[in-house]
Structure 1
Amino acid sequence: MTSATPELLQALIRNQCVNDGTPESGGESRNADVLAAVLEGPGVELERYESLPGRASLVARIDGSDPAAPSLLLMGHTDVVPANAENWRHDPFGGEQIDGEIWGRGAVDMLNHTSSMAIAMRRLADSGFRPRGTLVYLAVADEEGGGTYGAEWLLEHQRESVAADYVITETGGMSLPVPGATETLLPVMVGEKGFGWVTLVVRGTPGHGSMPLRTDNALVKAAEVVQRVAAIQSTPRVEGQWRDFVEACRLPEDVERLFLDADALTAYCTSEDADLQLARLIHAATTTTIAPTMVRGGVKTNVIADRVEIELDIRTLPGVTADDLVSAIAAAVGEELMASVDVQVGKFQEASLSSPESPLWDSLAKASSALLPGSRPVPFLLVGVTDARFFRGAGSTAYGYGLFSDRISFRDFASMFHGNDERIDIESLRLSTELWSAVAQDFLD
């Protein structure tokens, strides 16, 4: 059984369930088939749901003996983002084991969880595990496309099959290199930032490209809009969830004081001496960020552009609304230039949070310290989004967590999400598999 999780991960990677955001992509049914073959057997009930042809989610269940006892859902997604093989050292869909690591798209995000959770579920059933509370495993489709055909669809159409009091999913658990820390600090993602996809439409007047003098060129105006929006600097918010994190770290007084002072924190993040990956994480966790990511416009090389669209990826702190975003953009662009700009707020969802004060937190801490002596979980805010937000909206306490060895550094680990050369080491797979088993037994019995 020691090789079961790596072998399952390899199979999931090789199935190439690539989600490019279109309804017909994903093909998660291939991974659902593989997982069903692993999970089927005595003690586990299996259910399969397809929101669209080829886009299956798999639910496995070990029913508890006490309907009043809390239930736990272990959730991993089965789709992955595209990968450009030219930029990888090894085949992104080869699932090769090289020097104690499994390589491939999804090895970190998040087929490692999906495979280790499945193996832990099967192991528990084989051991005769009959808990008081119900244990549910969900291998869900379409997380990388926003959850429309996965978690969101399931909660709308099959809520009774996936609803649970507590949920564990990605990400978290990698050791944070916090200055001054004397323990191994493992972030539990107790919440995640909100997000808004905003389009700025910049208007101009068409004309011949051979006579550009004093023309109303939408592209020129758009370039200025991009510069002004990119220059928006939010003051770090050092209260609320960030303060909870800092205080939980039990840092030396001077470090804690630095992290709880907005000006000092800004200076730290912009310092050339700061760890860039950590600085980016701290900045993202304490501010609402606005990143211009795409520009489209113009109709022909010799035509002055009369319309340019700028796409913004915005990640919001708790409490920030869509109206707040529009106001911030208008203030940055300025009244004169805004007269030529329309702001279109597309998909928007506010931040979500779960309390770290829970019996599941206690079980995670207990299991983590046993598997990684000297480690301790701390509450953190995920700067991206996961399917956990749907379950928090449905009333569940949801955490993002895992357990990883120190073979892959925090910097390398963070760079592999949607990046090149994604891989996970065998020891991390073992630790996570043991974690899910230990937590289920402690929390549900």
Structure 2
Amino acid sequence: MRGIGWIVAAALVGQSLPAAAQTRPDQQAFFALYKELVETNTVVDVGSCTQARDQVAARMKAAGYTDQDLTPFSVPDHSRDGGLVAVLKGSDPKAKPMLLLAHIDVVAAKREDWVRDPFKLIEEGGYYYGRGSVDDKAMAAIWADAMIRFKQSGYKPKRTIKLALTCGEETTYAFNGAEWLAKNQPDLIAAEFALNEGGGGRYGKDGKRELLAIQVGEKAAQNFTFTTTNPGGHSSQPVPDNAIYELADALKRVQGYEFPIKFTDTTRAFFGMVAKAPTTPRPMADAITSLLANPNDAAADRIVSLDKAMHSTLRTTCVATLLKAGHAENALPQSATANINCRIFPGESVDETLAKLKELAGPKVTVTANMPIRPIGIPPKLDPKITAPMKTLADKYFPGVPMLPSMSTGATDGIFLEAIGIPVYGAPGVFIDSDFSGVHGLNERIRVESLYTGRDYLFDLVKAYAG
């Protein structure tokens, strides 16, 4: 998950929060689904997405969905990594379907590291704590709950609504359900557009809502390996040729290189809004304005890139993340390797990035692209048909809170759907704290108020598109 460009929140006006409401019968039913989902361990190779999938499917069947409406899927060698596609048929055959996407796997969590059991949903101090309480079981539960409520109420959408709950998003080498569906069952998930994670909202340190973001596009995450080899020898007789030094020199060249600045429609709109924010410092605002006019303005780039999030939003980035070298403390190294993690700007390919890394590494270093190789990032259009309903409902639920379009510098499963022509938008609505609420870290949590209000917002948003 996730990578919202939380950059200008400090400059924006906050909003006081109402007390959380959990008394409606529909909220109680939702909580039971959410709790069951969070408390089902879905860490890849440890727990079971298939179990979680089956639990959701059972609730959907109880609400009136038939076997024809529900398609559970998995592959034999990844039987615990199953997913589910559910379909609520629309009344207008001319209206193209919409897709609700969420992953149900989670990042690993060790009980000894957490204050509370990560696989027990615990309410404390106005928060729900638990692994996946935000990423991404909040959205998975909200989408599944909406589909159940639609069926129970007899709601007849004009547009067919599809739901895909998938596994494998959090682990690079896992079986990825979204990728599998895109390659093997594209007709099953075919849609005019999809709503996914990646958007959301942020609270300030004072507990007030500061910002809403719509994710419109994302970078492609790709790993590369740098390798140097050498005959080695006794460390008492060093020679100039040294695998570690050659690798280190190559890594320093990568460190010193800046990929060129590029803009999508989304990032251009985002930076334009940042520049106009009333309390954005003048040097920063002027530098952004200069870059929008001339992406080759090196002086402006230096100022804007002081903000690490802005720096990453402007360009492809590559950084060394792992090192391995040598075989004995008293021997010259026979090999040295490094992992380079790149986040590739939309429209740029893995091959283009590989060619640049080879150029930087030099002739003594072998550079390879690691499997799996991700698709090229394809930025969706900043389409008013998508953004306008989000803004209209945000004005109702979160009056006065600014909404910005953003490109994720992280990665979601949306990139697999965009590769087959389905534009994916990270929906706003669920707010998290300014420290990212422990997502991927310790003591992951979500405010109770945020979960229930976000649920209502997203329910109405789906109806706005479907009806």
TM-score, normalization by structure 2: 0.82
* 2:71 pairs with one of 26, 29, 47: 47
Query: Residue in 2 aligned with 1:260?
Result: 289
> How big is each residue's C-alpha offset from its partner over 1:96-137, in whole Å with a ceiling of 9 and x where there is no partner?
222121212222221111111111221222222101101111
Change (3 A) 1:49 1:280: same
Say which SS state the counterpart of residue 349 (structure 1) adopts. Answer: coil
Q: Distance in 2 between matches of 1:231 and 1:149?
A: 34
Query: Residue in 2 aligned with 1:11?
Result: 36
1:221 aligns with 2:246: yes
Query: Aligned partner of 1:246: which letter?
Result: F
Query: Residue in 2 aligned with 1:145?
Result: 171
1:72 aligns with 2:98: yes
Q: Distance in 2 between matches of 1:212 and 1:422?
A: 52
Query: Aligned partner of 2:179: which letter?
Result: E
Change (3 A) 1:184 1:423: closer
1:65 to partner: Cα distance:
0.7
* 1:422 pairs with one of 424, 444, 447: 444
Q: Is the Cα–Cα contact under 8 Å of residues 99 and 193 in structure 2 kept in the other structure?
A: yes
Query: Residue in 2 aligned with 1:276?
Result: none
Change (3 A) 1:345 1:84: same
Query: Aligned partner of 2:444: which letter?
Result: E
1:168 to partner: Cα distance:
0.5
Q: Distance in 2 between matches of 1:171 and 1:7?
A: 25
Q: Distance in 2 between matches of 1:237 and 1:212?
A: 49
Change (3 A) 1:187 1:176: farther
Q: Is the Cα–Cα contact under 8 Å of residues 238 and 261 in structure 1 kept in the other structure?
A: no
Structure 1 window deviating more from structure 2 (71-80 vs 144-153): it is 144-153
Q: CA RMSD in A?
A: 2.5
* 2:131 pairs with one of 105, 116, 134: 105
1:433 aligns with 2:455: yes
Query: Residue in 2 aligned with 1:357?
Result: 383
Q: Distance in 1 between matches of 2:338 and 2:254?
A: 10
Query: Aligned partner of 1:195: which letter?
Result: A
Query: Residue in 1 aligned with 2:348?
Result: 320
1:71-220 alignment runs, 5 A limit? 71-146=97-172, 148-175=175-202, 185-209=211-235, 211-214=236-239, 216-220=241-245
Q: Is the Cα–Cα contact under 8 Å of residues 205 and 215 in structure 1 kept in the other structure?
A: no
Q: How many residues align?
A: 419
1:208-287 alignment runs, 5 A limit? 208-209=234-235, 211-214=236-239, 216-234=241-259, 236-237=261-262, 240-248=265-273, 251-252=277-278, 254=282, 256-262=285-291, 263-264=299-300, 266-270=302-306, 279-287=307-315
Which 4+ residue blocks in structure 1 deviate beyond 6 angstroms?
none
Say which SS state the counterpart of residue 3 (structure 1) adopts. Answer: helix
Say which SS state the counterpart of residue 138 (structure 1) adopts. Answer: strand
> How big is each residue's C-alpha offset from its partner over 1:163-182, in whole Å with a ceiling of 9 and x where there is no partner?
211100111122498xxxxx
Query: Aligned partner of 2:48: which letter?
Result: G
Change (3 A) 1:239 1:168: closer
Query: Residue in 2 aligned with 1:31?
Result: 52
Query: Aligned partner of 1:267: which letter?
Result: I
Q: Percentage identity across aligned positions?
A: 26
Query: Residue in 2 aligned with 1:275?
Result: none
Q: Is the Cα–Cα contact under 8 Å of residues 217 and 346 in structure 2 kept in the other structure?
A: no
Query: Residue in 1 aligned with 2:296?
Result: none
Change (3 A) 1:176 1:236: farther
Say which SS state the counterpart of residue 174 (structure 1) adopts. Answer: strand
> How big is each residue's C-alpha offset from its partner over 1:328-367, in whole Å with a ceiling of 9 and x where there is no partner?
334544xxxx232011122243222111214232222222
Q: Is the Cα–Cα contact under 8 Å of residues 358 and 366 in structure 2 kept in the other structure?
A: no
1:212 to partner: Cα distance:
4.3
Q: Is the Cα–Cα contact under 8 Å of residues 195 and 349 in structure 1 kept in the other structure?
A: no
Q: Distance in 2 between matches of 1:131 and 1:166?
A: 16
Show structure 1 runs of 5+ residues with no match.
178-182, 271-278
Query: Aligned partner of 1:31: which letter?
Result: A
Q: Is the Cα–Cα contact under 8 Å of residues 365 and 376 in structure 1 kept in the other structure?
A: no
* 2:426 pairs with one of 376, 379, 400: 400
Say which SS state the counterpart of residue 164 (structure 2) adopts. Answer: strand
1:308 to partner: Cα distance:
1.3
Query: Residue in 2 aligned with 1:180?
Result: none
1:235 to partner: Cα distance:
5.2
Q: Distance in 2 between matches of 1:6 and 1:256?
A: 44
Show structure 2 runs of 5+ residues with no match.
1-25, 292-298
Query: Aligned partner of 1:409: which letter?
Result: D
TM-score, normalization by structure 1: 0.86
Query: Aligned partner of 1:315: which letter?
Result: R
Q: Distance in 2 between matches of 1:349 and 1:67?
A: 31
Change (3 A) 1:236 1:378: same
Q: Is the Cα–Cα contact under 8 Å of residues 5 and 430 in structure 1 kept in the other structure?
A: no
> How big is each residue's C-alpha offset from its partner over 1:192-243, in whole Å with a ceiling of 9 and x where there is no partner?
012321111112222123x142263312332333333233334544564321
Query: Aligned partner of 1:38: which letter?
Result: R
Change (3 A) 1:236 1:306: same
Q: Is the Cα–Cα contact under 8 Å of residues 121 and 437 in structure 1 kept in the other structure?
A: no
Q: Distance in 2 between matches of 1:26 and 1:350?
A: 31
Q: Distance in 2 between matches of 1:323 and 1:267?
A: 30
Q: Is the Cα–Cα contact under 8 Å of residues 26 and 142 in structure 1 kept in the other structure?
A: no
Structure 1 window deviating more from structure 2 (87-96 vs 249-258): it is 249-258
